[in-house]
Structure 1
């Protein structure tokens, strides 16, 4: 009888200990996923700062270095995205070498999941990332909450392409996100809106669409390979494809491949700018890495919602770094935009999960 009581006590203690460890693991996952949103905000700020330094200042200055409006608006946007992605890929490869996973990275490239990750990178790199940078340059940090529509778009595309669930709660979350985007967009049609803001906001929707589609495709790839290897494949593919495919195409549209080749050479040799691109690339890599890690610890749905807080952190980091520290004009946001950013986070959370589940989990534990 005493042995039975003793075993029961031990089992209960083991269950309690397991629940405690699970709760700590879950909370740590939420913290990591939230950190990914913060790092995405710093990535946006450092990238934008880099595109004002060194040779970039000459290209976008008063004289524009003799560049056409097409080159300044679109080719330089693609170039900024490419430089950042290449720097991020370098950081990812260095991390893979340190972790002893570089050989696995090379082996996974020529596998089905690896090719899926490469496809996702082609969608999210040359297309979505370039649209994001162009929108950021044209309209400022106000486009960041717009791009945070990608989880809502991903949910819709998941329903269309993969017949995934789209219930009433998720539809409500999508409606909240759309309302928030309209609130943000309304600031671009006022009489005192900067020139090009409305177009920049529209271009930001392309980024949201591309990242939403990328999320659907990448979900398959990362379910079959190590997330750290998947991120390395993604970043390397995005950087190289942007640099050797997309930019030359834009160069030909602008008048010749020599134009893009010359700009690429100048960009990578501009030391005062590359310091900030190295910082933005590091932040981008950390953001992706912690996002995937957070998803694996607290669940993809809640991880996606936590990462979506970049709709707030992006404008905040840009305002602090560019507006406050470096004194660059145009990085303050109207109150409606801040409110819409918070509303967007609420919408993303509703899409990802039932918010009441957070309290239910606390009760179980």
Structure 2
């Protein structure tokens, strides 16, 4: 009898621990969303520094240099700062040797390939989109779970049931609402380009999630994040920026002159140091939260950045820095909430969620 009672107490304790672990995972995933908000806010702040303003004011806003080169400089500096943060923390944890060994493995190579899609393509597109259209593009970029579901259907023949199709439909509706807001609000001349590039970012991040899913299951989270950020920062700096410079007829000396000026200007580089750390923490917390509460629910919690990122950017850039143009129209806020709803519908199966709670 006492033995049965002891087993019952032990089982209850395990359930309490599982429940606590699950709830903590949700909080970590939500923290990831908050850090993504700070990443977006401080990347935007860096591109509104006095130095940056002196560059953009001297250029035609539709010129190739202003539209593509200057934002790519911001993206390359931000992701390089993020990579330095990731390497420093990996070294502090004594995992640099594991980092070097993992790069040469099959999962490591797959993760690097996924990073090429999610970093140099998606991140550069996202930052150019922010520079052209502001934070109204954030919910469009957040379409990546919907795109990931569609790509999984194409690449891996995964079924899209009624629930996921409904979620994708809700996300598309939110995207149309954002498009309407861009037409009725204070639109820049490059608003359409910004929205289109935000969709490219969503496509890239959706593809990254599909490609990296296999590899991330076999690699330590900290090592995986470090590989991702290092590949992204390095390729943006030594490949994407030079290629865009050649395409746009801009000399490499001029492009890297902007990089040098930005990293030696204290107010500008401080913004990117904070943005880089926030990006690192956002990705790291997302991966950790997913492992604790499940990828589906973690993805849904992280998707709240559709609301958080514009809010934090408005506070940091609009209110604290006093730069106008970052208050979104009401329909954009509503669309952000609708997008979160769509992501939750795609990501979370109510039966599985309630099943976990019952087991917990």
TM class, shorter-length: over 0.9
* DSSP-derived class of the 2:160 partner: coil
What's 2:168 paired with? 174
Q: Note the C-alpha offset of 1:117.
A: 1.1
1:50 equivalent in alignment to 2:46: yes
Q: Structure 2: how far apart are the matches of 1:152 and 1:40?
A: 19
2:265 corresponding residue in structure 1: 270
Q: How does 1:237-316 map to 2 (within 5 A)?
A: 237-255=231-249, 256-316=251-311
Query: Contact 1:249–1:257 at 8 Å: present in 2 too?
Result: no
Match of 1:119 in 2: 113
Question: What's the secondary structure of 1:12's corresponding residue?
Answer: helix
**Aligned residue pair count:** 359
Q: Distance in 2 between matches of 1:168 and 1:339?
A: 24
Q: CA deviation at 1:330?
A: 0.4
Per the TM alignment, residue 20 of structure 1 is displaced from its structure 2 partner at its CA by: 0.6
Aligned to 2:23: 27
Q: 3-state DSSP class of the match of 1:188?
A: helix
Query: Which deviates more, 68-77 or 188-197?
Result: 188-197
How many angstroms apart in 2 are the aligned matches of 1:311 and 1:301?
17
Q: Which runs of 5+ in 2 are unaligned?
A: none
Measured against aligned partners, the alpha-carbon deviations of 1:159-217 in whole angstroms (never above 9, x if no partner) come to 11122232111111111111011101111123753322222111110110011001111
**Are the aligned partners of 1:349 and 1:355 in contact in 2 as well (CA < 8 Å)?**
no
Q: Secondary structure at the match of 2:119?
A: helix
SS state of the match for residue 32, structure 2?
A: helix
How many Å separate the matches in 1 of 2:222 and 2:185?
47
Displacement of 1:324 = 1.1
Unaligned runs of 5+ in 1: none
Residues 84-127 of structure 1, C-alpha deviations (whole Å, 9 max, x = no match): 00000000001001111111011111111111111111111111
C-alpha separation in 1, matches of 2:259 and 2:148: 33
Q: Which one of 55, 58, 66 corresponds to residue 59 of structure 1?
A: 55
For residues 318-333 of structure 1, the aligned pairs below 5 Å read 318-333=313-328
Match for 2:346 among 342, 345, 351? 351
Q: How far is the alpha carbon of 1:254 from its aligned partner?
A: 2.4
Shift of 1:356: 5.7
Residues 61 and 67 of structure 2 are in contact (CA less than 8 Å); yes or no, is this contact kept in structure 1? no
Distance verdict in 2 for CA 1:30–1:68, change over 3 Å: closer
| C-alpha distance in 2 between matches for 1:228 and 1:327 | 37
The yes-or-no answer on 1:15 pairing with 2:15 is: no
Alpha-carbon deviation of 1:328? 0.6
**1:267 Cα deviation from its structure 2 partner:** 2.3
Aligned partners of 1:192 and 1:33: how far apart in 2?
33
Instruction: Report SS of the residue matched to 2:184.
Output: coil
Corresponding residue for 1:96? 90
- The CA deviation at 1:59 is 1.0
Q: What is residue 187 of structure 1 aligned with on the other side? A: 181
**Residues 1:339 and 2:334 aligned together:** yes
Distance across 1 between alignment mates of 2:11 and 2:263:
56
CA distance, structure 2, for counterparts of residue 258 and residue 328 of structure 1: 31
- Counterpart-to-counterpart distance in 1, 2:98 and 2:255: 34
Conserved? CA contact 1:127–1:210, under 8 Å: yes
Distance 1:23 1:44 in 2: 32
**Structure 1, 340-349 or 263-272: larger mean CA deviation:** 263-272
CA contact (8 A) 1:118 1:234 kept: yes
TM-fit CA distance, 1:221: 1.4
Gap change, CA 1:356 and 1:13, over 3 Å in 2: same
Does structure 1 retain, via aligned residues, the 8 Å contact 2:90–2:96? Answer: yes
Counterpart contact for 2:185–2:329, Cα < 8 Å: no
